Structure 1
Amino acid sequence: MELTLQSPARPAGSVIEALQAEGVSYDDIRMGLDLQEVQRKAGVPVLPLRVICGLDAPQRRNNQIGNARVLAGTPKPRGRKGGLHITRNEVWANSVRTGSDEEAEFASPLTQRMRARLVIAGKRVLKLGRKLACEARAGERALTDREMKLVCYTPSCQQILIELLDNEKFRKGWCIPAYETIMGWTGLSRSTIYRSLRTLADIGMIEWIRRFIYTQDKDVGARSTQTSNLYRFRLPDWLEKLVGLHTPLPADEEDRRSQAAEEHAAMLATLPAAERRRALPADEVDRARLVAAGLRVDLRLAAERKARECHDGLPPLIKDYIYKNGKSGIGLVGRYALP
């Protein structure tokens, strides 16, 4: 059984004076300090003095699971299947409501530089895909899974990518064209557009969420209607390196992105299971990066928990301390003393 203890945020002098004011003898305080030193040398979490002296009771907590374990144990979302909304209208599963916070968080405007890099990457992918297809037909070598995705990149994919990027530029990240609108832009069939979007999604250059509109009036009542998708764009690192567009980031930018990833991973770990399942990316590499960021957070918090309660008169960190009853071999002082 794991017990969680809270450490008071007071300087060293005030902690000892407060213990003496509450009737704790100096010998018990000295014994508590010695016990903290033994715990610190043993590499176990250090208990607060107030708990060791019997003034505060340990609080039970059974959810001591790290961020990395929570993220790694979250299953991937299932395939999107059609169904009926609560209003009995046909709405795709996992669709988000227009105007919701989830829709606003998904929209991501691009910079002019990133937009140009996506167009250049598309052109190089088209050229590289043709070269790989020729090598595969000649039997020179077997293609990998990623190279097979590049072979499927056609001029229709490049045409649709350029049109969507132009639409995103003027709508500031809110790229929401319907299939009929894309058909009017490109002159392609609906099936070609569907296959091209799937190819772009498999490569990782585009992703989208389905949306529905919820309305309510006196005559018809509440109803939901499926509407167009919301698209956003990105350039995977492996694709940048493959087509020769990768440039190393400055050290400060790497630190900023690492910190942002850790904050994002810690936030996802606090979400309910259903919301976390939808929020986690489906790409294996992106999920692995979030798990690694969550592991960095866990290691940093574990190091902070092992810090001593009072150090040179500075207030201690208010963190959770885990005490495993009967396993450490170290008892408590006062009315919580172990036999």
Structure 2
Amino acid sequence: MTALTFGEASAQLCARVRLDARAVRRVPHRTGAPVRRDSIEAGTFEHLFFAPPAAGEPDRWLRACRRALDAGRRLRREARAGTRTLSARERPIAALTGAAVRVFEELCTLARLHRGRVFPSYDWLAEATALGRATVARALVLLEAAGFLVRQRRFTRIEGAGEGPRYRQTSNAYRALLPAAVLGYLPRWMRPAPLPVDQLDHHQAQADAQAAMLAGLSSRDRARATVDGALGKVLAALGAAVDRACESQDHPQPLMDSIHTGTKELA
């Protein structure tokens, strides 16, 4: 038998634990393929997530992304030369690549052709752009960090043997945007026109009126007006209980003041 030191024995034990963990990970998930974090079931939110773009809007998004790529290259040159320190808003722009712009071009094309409903798979984007799958995945991360893209993971239910529902991951949902961080790098003719002052005043008056309306509601009605779904029902029930507790308080005099007054009378 070969004698092992304590360090060698510990190293072998750690290696065996890692092998056992890999073997455990290869065991099929009891409800099908595992679903990634922050995923939402497909078909339950797309009507709120997708929005049809206006005429010519995808082309403006793409031109802005190309301009941002050029601006990012200038920022990188200045940072390498030591004449500029990149801020938190400039670093994502400086990280953009030509592959990211190419992927964004395909997403803008899909948004124009399908009225904003964009949910291609990584493999489809890799084939359409002639890029590797890993390059496509990195491009999506860069676009999302720069603000050009919002993506939502999705899963679907599948039929399976045994009890309980089965799920599997499906393609992400994407929505292209024009981030405010890149507006300063765009020429004046590419920037969106500011809203008129009277329209801004109208929006502010509406916000003030809504805030005043919510302030005058009961706890139950305020919960119903601000939160939807199951959470709204739960908050409405809690608000109703709070309203009943407030209504049962007949005398508005604080308890401490009442005790203090009673003590004076006894004295």
* TM-score, normalised by the number of residues in structure 2: 0.63
**What is residue 183 of structure 2 aligned with on the other side?**
240
Q: For 1:144 and 1:268, how far apart are their aligned partners in 2?
A: 40
**What is residue 132 of structure 1 aligned with on the other side?**
75
Q: How do residues 139-218 of structure 1 correspond to structure 2 at under 5 angstroms? A: 139-216=82-159
Amino acid paired to 1:92: R
Amino acid paired to 1:162: E
Matched position secondary structure for 2:159? strand
- 1:143, distance to aligned residue in structure 2 (A): 1.2
Contact 1:157 1:199 in 2 (8 A): yes
The structure with the greater share of residues assigned to strand is 1
Amino acid paired to 1:99: G
- Residue 253 of structure 2 is aligned to residue 326 of structure 1: yes
Q: 1:94 aligns with which of 24, 34, 38?
A: 38
Q: For 1:243 and 1:273, how far apart are their aligned partners in 2?
A: 44
Contact 1:85 1:224 in 2 (8 A): no
- Residue 227 of structure 2 is aligned to residue 270 of structure 1: yes
Larger relative contact order (CA 8 Å, sep ≥ 6): 1
Could you list the per-position Cα deviations for residues 280-308 of structure 1 after superposition, in whole angstroms to 9, with x for gaps in the alignment?
xxxxxxxxxxxxxxxxxxxxxxxxxxxxx
- Could you say if the C-alpha distance between residues 214 and 237 of structure 1 is closer, same or farther in structure 2, counting changes exceeding 3 Å? same
Contact 2:118 2:175 in 1 (8 A): yes
- Residue 66 of structure 2 is aligned to residue 123 of structure 1: yes
- 1:168, distance to aligned residue in structure 2 (A): 1.4
* TM-score, normalised by the number of residues in structure 1: 0.50
Matched position secondary structure for 2:35? strand
Q: For 1:261 and 1:226, how far apart are their aligned partners in 2?
A: 43
- Could you say if the C-alpha distance between residues 273 and 218 of structure 1 is closer, same or farther in structure 2, counting changes exceeding 3 Å? closer
- Could you say if the C-alpha distance between residues 143 and 262 of structure 1 is closer, same or farther in structure 2, counting changes exceeding 3 Å? farther
- Could you say if the C-alpha distance between residues 147 and 261 of structure 1 is closer, same or farther in structure 2, counting changes exceeding 3 Å? farther
Q: For 2:41 and 2:86, how far apart are their aligned partners in 1?
A: 41
Q: For 1:229 and 1:96, how far apart are their aligned partners in 2?
A: 10
- Structure 1 unaligned segments of length 5 or more: list them: 1-83, 276-319, 328-339
Q: How do residues 251-330 of structure 1 correspond to structure 2 at under 5 angstroms? A: 251=197, 253-254=199-200, 259=206, 269-270=226-227, 325-326=252-253
Matched position secondary structure for 1:229? strand
**What is residue 58 of structure 1 aligned with on the other side?**
none
Amino acid paired to 1:326: Q
- Could you say if the C-alpha distance between residues 237 and 325 of structure 1 is closer, same or farther in structure 2, counting changes exceeding 3 Å? farther
Matched position secondary structure for 1:211? strand
Amino acid paired to 1:97: E
Amino acid paired to 1:270: V
**What is residue 250 of structure 1 aligned with on the other side?**
196
- Structure 2 unaligned segments of length 5 or more: list them: 1-27, 215-221, 233-245, 255-267
The structure with the greater share of residues assigned to helix is 2
- 1:247, distance to aligned residue in structure 2 (A): 2.4
Q: For 1:257 and 1:202, how far apart are their aligned partners in 2?
A: 30
Superposed CA RMSD: 3.9
- 1:93, distance to aligned residue in structure 2 (A): 2.1
Aligned length: 201
